[in-house]
Chains A and B, each alone.
Chain A
Amino acid sequence: MTAVLGAFALFCAANVVAALWRVLRGPTAADRLLAPQLFGTTGIAVLLLLAEALGAPSLRDVAVVLALLALVTAAAFALRVAGSSARGEPEP
């Protein structure tokens, strides 16, 4: 069974690498942000799989941390980057 879990983890990691193509391709900044979103979720999956396959329960805690902080990058994009080019210089 560990082989199955390992294969799944490998598959997810391959997904991550495949999604990198979207980061490079774009075309908009938002598109480039999509891939990291997928990485976050896939990363959580990989960590949970590895926790089971390697017998390392602390990796589940790492997955929790990743899940908790997944939001902050998108928030930074939406509230700081997006629209800033339209806004121009920050108001004093």
Chain B
Amino acid sequence: MTAGLALDVLLAVALPLVGLAAVLRRDLVQSVMLLFSLGVLLAIAWARLGAPDIAMVEAALGAGVTGVLFLSALARVGPDDAAPRAASVRVALAALAAAAVAPVALAVEALPRAFEGLGREVLARVPETGATHPVTSVLLDFRGYDTLLEIAVLLLAVLGAWAARGGAPSPRPPAPGPILTAAVRLLLPLMVVVAGVLLWVGSSAPGGAFQAGTVLGTTLVLATLSGGVALPRVPPWVVRSMLALGFAVFLAVAGATAASGRALLRYPGAHAAGLLLAIEAALTISIAVVVWALFERDPEERRAEGEAGGREGEAA
């Protein structure tokens, strides 16, 4: 299939070039848009590599959330050129990046050509887990411990983002206007439903907590962007609880499995599917709020400023 090969070549050439351009261009808006383009190209690349789960997350994150985060940051910083770094710093950074990538490249090159990895073993034991989709099995069962730690890292990221942002209020946006409001009112329920579907099918098809969580999170961001359309006003402690929920539930299950004498995160066979779904549901909520929290500041800050009656209320 020469068209497929040509597509792969096109992607292989375009991806690093777009990435380089995103980093090297001075105009920050250009960089953000190039990163967005990189996200779409990457999603296609993942599709070509037979990884629809990652393609989905890349589509949601790279072609959705990161664009919004960067544009919002730009709005605060101003779209002027980035302060040019000294040449020595740029060279040092490039050398650092090369030093980080080189060992990985060498290791990949050193792999035996017929390297199969653990694929066959994993596929053979997927029926033992609570899911039929191998990716979900690996993420939440075989390597569940890694995922548990990843969620903790996400929480830390939010804490760091909130701390770094401080109490700086978001720029007051112009009124969203009837078209955006109508579109958001139409899309929001759809996005919630799609997120729910993605969560539900995650055990047997590409989907699951990360995909559903990022879609749901982008939904929250979209609602906030357009002036809080259809967003209920919740007290800050609710937001914090939802942030912690995924990690808490996962940790509780891990603790229970360890305490009951089994190996850590070895789910009891009969309940495995239900447990996985419960964990994924909690993770979805948390990931969604994580995405939103990276975009908005700590609601505690807003309340402390006495702005509680502000934007959310007037546009709703």
Pairwise interchain contact B78-A47, C-beta atoms closer than 8 A? no
Pairwise interchain contact B1-A3, C-beta atoms closer than 8 A? yes
Q: In whole angstroms, what is the CA distance A47 to B7 when docked?
A: 12
Q: In whole angstroms, what is the CA distance A9 to B218 when docked?
A: 27
> In the complex, which residues of chain A have a beta carbon less than 8 angstroms from the beta carbon of B55?
47, 59, 62
| Neighbour of A20 across the interface among B37, B65, B67, B190, CB < 8 A | B37
> In the complex, which residues of chain B have a beta carbon less than 8 angstroms from the beta carbon of A3?
1-3
> In the complex, which residues of chain A have a beta carbon less than 8 angstroms from the beta carbon of B206?
58, 61-62
Q: In whole angstroms, what is the CA distance A39 to B190 when docked?
A: 22
Q: What is the distance, in angstroms, from B25's C-beta to the closest C-beta of chain A?
A: 7
B209 adjacent to chain A (CB < 8 Å): no
> In the complex, which residues of chain B have a beta carbon less than 8 angstroms from the beta carbon of A32?
29-30, 33
B176 adjacent to chain A (CB < 8 Å): yes
Pairwise interchain contact A79-B37, C-beta atoms closer than 8 A? no
> In the complex, which residues of chain A have a beta carbon less than 8 angstroms from the beta carbon of B68?
72-73, 75-76
> In the complex, which residues of chain B have a beta carbon less than 8 angstroms from the beta carbon of A77?
71
Q: What is the distance, in angstroms, from B315's C-beta to the closest C-beta of chain A?
A: 11
B59 adjacent to chain A (CB < 8 Å): yes
User: How many residues of A are in contact with the other chain, CB < 8 A?
Assistant: 57
> Can you name the residue of chain A whose Cβ is closest to the Cβ of B36?
A36
Map CB proximity to A onto B99-136 as digits: 1 under 8 Å, 0 otherwise: 00000000000000000000000000000000000000
Pairwise interchain contact A76-B76, C-beta atoms closer than 8 A? no
Pairwise interchain contact B41-A75, C-beta atoms closer than 8 A? no
Pairwise interchain contact A39-B37, C-beta atoms closer than 8 A? yes
Pairwise interchain contact A68-B215, C-beta atoms closer than 8 A? yes
B221 adjacent to chain A (CB < 8 Å): yes
Pairwise interchain contact A79-B44, C-beta atoms closer than 8 A? no
> In the complex, which residues of chain A have a beta carbon less than 8 angstroms from the beta carbon of B78?
84-85
| Neighbour of B205 across the interface among A16, A58, A70, A78, CB < 8 A | A58
| Neighbour of B7 across the interface among A10, A66, A78, CB < 8 A | A10
> In the complex, which residues of chain B have a beta carbon less than 8 angstroms from the beta carbon of A50?
44, 47-48
Chain A CB within 10 A, most for which of B14, B29, B65, B206: B29
> Can you name the residue of chain A whose Cβ is closest to the Cβ of B177?
A78
> In the complex, which residues of chain A have a beta carbon less than 8 angstroms from the beta carbon of B47?
46-47, 50, 54, 56, 59, 62
- Chain B residues with CB under 8 Å of chain A are 1-4, 6-7, 10-11, 14, 18, 21, 25, 27, 29-30, 33-34, 36-37, 40-41, 43-44, 47-48, 50, 52, 55-56, 59-60, 63-65, 67-68, 71-72, 74-76, 78-79, 168-174, 176, 180, 183, 187, 190-191, 194, 198, 205-207, 211, 215, 218, 221-222, 225-226
- Chain A residues with CB under 8 Å of chain B are 2-3, 5-7, 9-10, 13-14, 16-17, 20, 23-24, 26, 29, 32-33, 35-36, 39-40, 42-43, 46-47, 50, 53-54, 56, 58-59, 61-62, 64-66, 68-73, 75-81, 83-85, 87, 90-92
Add 14 more A-B contacts to A70-B63, A76-B67 (CB < 8 A): A9-B7, A16-B40, A32-B29, A36-B37, A39-B63, A50-B44, A59-B47, A61-B206, A62-B59, A64-B194, A72-B67, A72-B68, A80-B71, A90-B172
In the A-B complex, the 5 residue pairs with the smallest Cβ-Cβ separation, listed nearest first, are A6-B3, A69-B64, A90-B171, A80-B75, A73-B67
